[in-house]
Amino acid sequence: MTMSQEEFWRENKRLGTDGWTWTLAVILLILTCRLLRYRLRFFCRGTSLLSSASSTTPKTDAIPSIRSPGIVSDLDLKNLINNLNENCPDDNIWEHVIDKRTNFIAYKAKCCKPQDGPLKYLSVTTFEDCSVEVLVKFYMDNHYRMQWDKTVVHHQQLEVDRGSGIEIGRTIKKFPFLTPREYVLAWRLWQGMDGSFYCFSKECDHPLAPKQKKYIRVAVFRSGWRIRQVPGRNACEIRMVHQEDAGLNLEMAKLAFAKGIWSYVRKMDYALRKYCAGKQHQLNSTAGASMHIQKVRMYFLRVGIHGGIKRVT
């Protein structure tokens, strides 16, 4: 038998304070049940979405093959060598930027403004008491770089092709007072007949790295270097040519480079000495550094004296 609304309130009035307490308890119970039902429904839907996302997201250790093997080609290597040797015919006026040294490291750089691109820098860094092999491993070890280069907040290898030696990766850099910059790059490593190493990197797109609003994607990035032994000395040099459009004003970019590069180079030298002393180049178990060196030894191009390129089987 159900109680009418009028009878319900008459009964509560007759019961007095105890009736109001009972009524309040019933209302709270109803609200609690509804809240729990809402949370349960939300939780189940969230779990379903997470399960769906995990089933469609590729695993990081299942790295696919390079879709475009020619993304970094032998022509890039030829152009890199010409740029490093300053054999490119152009009318660019080079401007001195810096020339500093200590007992362990020397650094000098100059820059110019090409008509068809961002600022171009040409630099030479010389490290005393260092072998070519260790310096190459140090430069290619992106996981160790995150320990000493505080601008690098994230690095992820997206794709690798063991046959051509081409790799694609994504790096996030954070600079003071600026929106984080996102770099999606393809790079390749070669070895010359004289034991020197060459590396060239350029911007690219990749389906595993869609653009995100919270980052500024660096649209132009062309950077390459050569590491070789300094003749007659227990020292190595890395000669680098670098172009990058990170969305900064031209004069601001020049000022930031000139003011900050020497501090960065000295920090890099300290990290290199620590890298050698700690034998991290031997103990590092990350996929990055060890994979790079193995790949170079198995698949590389020998660069002839006259710029001829020959594949070694």
Which distant-in-sequence residues (6+ apart) come within 8 Å of 132 by Cβ?
195, 196, 197, 227, 228, 229, 236
Domain borders along the chain are: 7-36, 69-311
- pLDDT given at position 280: 56
- pLDDT given at position 69: 59
- pLDDT given at position 286: 43
Mean pLDDT of 21-45: 48
* Tens digit of each residue's pLDDT (9 = 90 or more) over 62-96: 445 555 557 999 999 999 999 999 887 667 889 99
Residue 190 has pLDDT above 50, yes or no: yes
Residue 298 has pLDDT above 90, yes or no: no
- pLDDT given at position 98: 96
- pLDDT given at position 253: 85
Q: What value, to the nearest 5°, has the Cα angle with vertex 18 and ends 16 and 23?
A: 100
* Tens digit of each residue's pLDDT (9 = 90 or more) over 236-295: 999 999 999 988 888 888 888 988 999 999 999 999 999 988 765 554 544 444 444 434
Of 3.30.530.20, 1.20.1300.10, 3.50.50.60, 3.30.1360.120, the CATH number of 69-311 is 3.30.530.20
